[in-house]
């Protein structure tokens, strides 16, 4: 049976989603739990990598498993075996060829900033601390230039030799109190793209770049003008969206 | 100069506020930073102990220090030396006899519950996960019986031989989405009192106790009917209030 699962994790103590030798990954933790449960080696695929330290509220994974009980029992058993930092939020049967990466129509990431003079130990794990006052409307002007189809070479690397054109469907800063969030939805992302975009927009917010210059960096694909990447702790993969046809029931 | 400081901390990896041999405490971390800064042994007093694992958004401390520069520079230097899990949010000069424990008029604690079938790795550090549906109006009825002056012997121990009578000024459950918070303000608290109250009110919310039985446990001072204490991770000391006369400027 092919299973689609929605997984949340605190990425702080992990090397990222993807299995690596010599480092704890989310994928390996899921595969270990499934191997303990089934006595068989189970290969887990994700909708995409998340970097070391990046969190997820709605990563989507899929795996093939021999399971004769209810799916709810599989979920409970996985949650009992997984470390506290990882949880399976939902499970559903998927089409036999369901591929969480290739079939994803879009991904939603959120970047969180704690914007106050002194750091906050209680939000430190899930946000970047920026002490300076930020010009959020300039940052939103920069964000708006991201909408639509663009070659994002300035802000990240595509897989070897592949194209860097992506479609951004939403790019929105929101401010509340001492919190600032950036929500971005795109059909797909380049490696480190969200953190590079946020790091560059922070320079816009601090007055070091104009929104116009930001848009030029995007259009000229000038890598040297972008960055630095904002820290991983502020980034969370919120959700992955699929077409109804491939989604199979969640 | 006597200094009053507002301190926030993530208590997860600490044995509590108060210095202990063989364990990391918030007090010791503050004293270490001040000793590094001044070259002298500095004794830090707090408004009260917080248990192992309990957090603070507004703990109040005081200490005597020889400092010839601006207070803002003291704060910056302390924050540079302190671990990430601890931050000094504000500093002010205090009266020479300012005692953050004895002069406190009231303390405000918040207890946070994540109430959903599956645990949430992204709120796990700062809330208790309760999977069962809770009857929040029954919990609020129980909380309302706490208001005013009561002997709280059923819910905690006073310092040796001292009285267990405290005044609760506010006791309020609030629900939003999957989050549930309990705010309680009292002139002072017994050891473990908030966690014992919350643990017992959770039994009310799960239907194991009626609000009436909860009020009886309070009034009969029957320790055996109370508890168990809810976990430390959900508890945060939000603020400590002082009379204008002793507050000295923050």
Binary contact (B118, A236; C-beta < 8 A): no
Residue A79, domain member (yes or no): yes
A125: contact with B, CB 8 A cutoff: yes
Domain harbouring A42, CATH code: 3.30.70.580
Is cis: bond before B33, omega within 30 of 0?
no
B130 and B187 fall within a common domain? yes
A250: contact with B, CB 8 A cutoff: no
B184 beta partners: B109, B171
Residue B147, domain member (yes or no): yes
**ipTM greater than 0.90:** no
A192 and A82 fall within a common domain? no
Name residue, tokens 């046809």: A245
Token pair belonging to B26: 């918030």
Compare CB distances from B121 to A87, A120, A124 and report the shortest one's residue. Answer: A87
Compare CB distances from B121 to A85, A122, A124 and report the shortest one's residue. Answer: A85
pLDDT at A165: 96
B126 and B182 fall within a common domain? yes
pLDDT at A158: 85
Name residue, tokens 């957090």: B55
**Which of these ranges, A44-48, A67-71, A244-248, B109-113, has the smallest mean pLDDT?**
A244-248
Mean pLDDT of all residues in A176-203: 96
Name residue, tokens 């909860």: B214
- pLDDT of A70 > 60? The answer is yes
Binary contact (A87, B119; C-beta < 8 A): yes
Compare CB distances from B121 to A10, A119, A122 and report the shortest one's residue. Answer: A10
B117 and B81 fall within a common domain? no
Q: Contact at 8 Å (CB) between B82 and B144?
A: no
Could you tell me which chain A residue has the CA closest to the CA of B6? A118
Q: Given A10, A13, A51, A99, which residue is catalytic?
A: A51
Separation between Cα atoms, residue A130 and residue A197, nearest integer Å: 16
Binary contact (B8, A121; C-beta < 8 A): yes
Higher-pLDDT residue of A82 and A191 is A82
pLDDT at A73: 97
- pLDDT of A250 > 60? The answer is no
Residue B203, domain member (yes or no): yes
Contacts of A10 in chain B (CB under 8 A): 121-122, 124-125
pLDDT at A245: 54
Residue B244, domain member (yes or no): no
Compare CB distances from A122 to B57, B120, B122 and report the shortest one's residue. Answer: B57
pLDDT at B176: 87
Tell me the pLDDT tens digit for each residue of A212-224. Answer: 999 999 999 988 9
Which residues of B are the active-site residues? Answer: 51
Binary contact (A85, B120; C-beta < 8 A): no
- pTM equals 0.91
A93 and A144 fall within a common domain? no
**Taking the alpha carbons of B182, B183, B187, B191 in that order, is the dihedral positive or negative?**
positive
B188 and B84 fall within a common domain? no
Domain edge (last residue) among B45, B73, B102: B102
Domain edge (last residue) among B53, B81, B102: B102
Residue B128's domain comprises 106-239
A116 and A212 fall within a common domain? yes
Domain edge (last residue) among A102, A123, A151: A102
Contacts of A87 in chain B (CB under 8 A): 118-121
pLDDT at A249: 40
B154 and B92 fall within a common domain? no
Q: Contact at 8 Å (CB) between B79 and B88?
A: yes
Separation between Cα atoms, residue A41 and residue A37, nearest integer Å: 10
Residue A250, domain member (yes or no): no
Could you tell me which chain B residue has the CA closest to the CA of A8? B121
Domain harbouring A211, CATH code: 3.30.70.660
* Residue ranges in chain B modelled with pLDDT below 50: 246-250
pLDDT at B250: 42
A71: contact with B, CB 8 A cutoff: no
A70 and A125 fall within a common domain? no
B85: contact with A, CB 8 A cutoff: yes
Chain A and chain B share a number of CB contacts under 8 A equal to 57
In chain B, residues 139-168 whose CB comes closer than 8 Å to chain A: none
Binary contact (B10, A125; C-beta < 8 A): yes
Residue B247, domain member (yes or no): no
A170 and A125 fall within a common domain? yes
B115 and B234 fall within a common domain? yes
- pLDDT of A95 > 60? The answer is yes
pLDDT at B170: 98
Q: How many helices (H) and strands (E) does chain A have?
A: 6, 10
B81: contact with A, CB 8 A cutoff: no
Residue A97, domain member (yes or no): yes
pLDDT at A159: 80
B172 beta partners: B183
Q: How many Cβ atoms sit within 10 Å of the Cβ of residue B246?
A: 17
Residue B249, domain member (yes or no): no
B71 and B126 fall within a common domain? no
Could you tell me which chain A residue has the CA closest to the CA of B234? A122
Tell me the pLDDT tens digit for each residue of A130-169. Answer: 999 999 999 999 999 999 999 999 999 888 878 999 999 9
pLDDT at B249: 41
Compare CB distances from B118 to A9, A57, A87 and report the shortest one's residue. Answer: A87
**Total of domains in chain A:** 2
């Amino acid at each position: 049976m092919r299973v689609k699962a929605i997984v949340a994790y605190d990425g702080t103590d992990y090397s990222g989603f993807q299995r690596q030798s010599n480092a704890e990954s989310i994928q390996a933790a899921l595969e270990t739990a499934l191997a303990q449960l089934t006595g068989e080696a189970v290969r887990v695929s994700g909708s995409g990598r998340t970097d070391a330290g990046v969190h997820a509220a709605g990563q989507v994974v899929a795996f093939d498993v021999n399971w004769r009980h209810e799916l709810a029992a599989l979920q409970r058993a996985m949650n009992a075996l997984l470390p506290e930092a990882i949880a399976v939020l939902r499970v559903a049967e998927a089409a036999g060829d369901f591929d969480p990466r290739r079939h994803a129509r879009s991904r939603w990431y959120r970047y969180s900033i704690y914007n106050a003079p002194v750091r906050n130990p209680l939000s430190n794990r899930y946000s970047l601390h920026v002490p300076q006052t930020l010009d959020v409307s300039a940052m939103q002007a920069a964000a708006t230039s991201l909408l639509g189809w663009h070659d994002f070479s300035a802000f990240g690397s595509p897989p070897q030799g592949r194209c860097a054109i992506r479609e951004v469907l939403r790019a929105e800063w929101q401010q509340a109190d001492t919190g600032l969030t950036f929500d971005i939805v795109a059909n797909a992302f380049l490696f480190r793209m969200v953190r590079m975009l946020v790091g560059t927009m922070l320079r816009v917010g601090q007055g070091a770049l104009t929104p116009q210059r930001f848009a030029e960096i995007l259009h000229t694909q000038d890598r040297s003008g972008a960055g630095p990447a904002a820290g991983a702790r502020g980034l969370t993969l919120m959700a992955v969206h699929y077409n109804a046809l491939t989604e199979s029931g969640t």
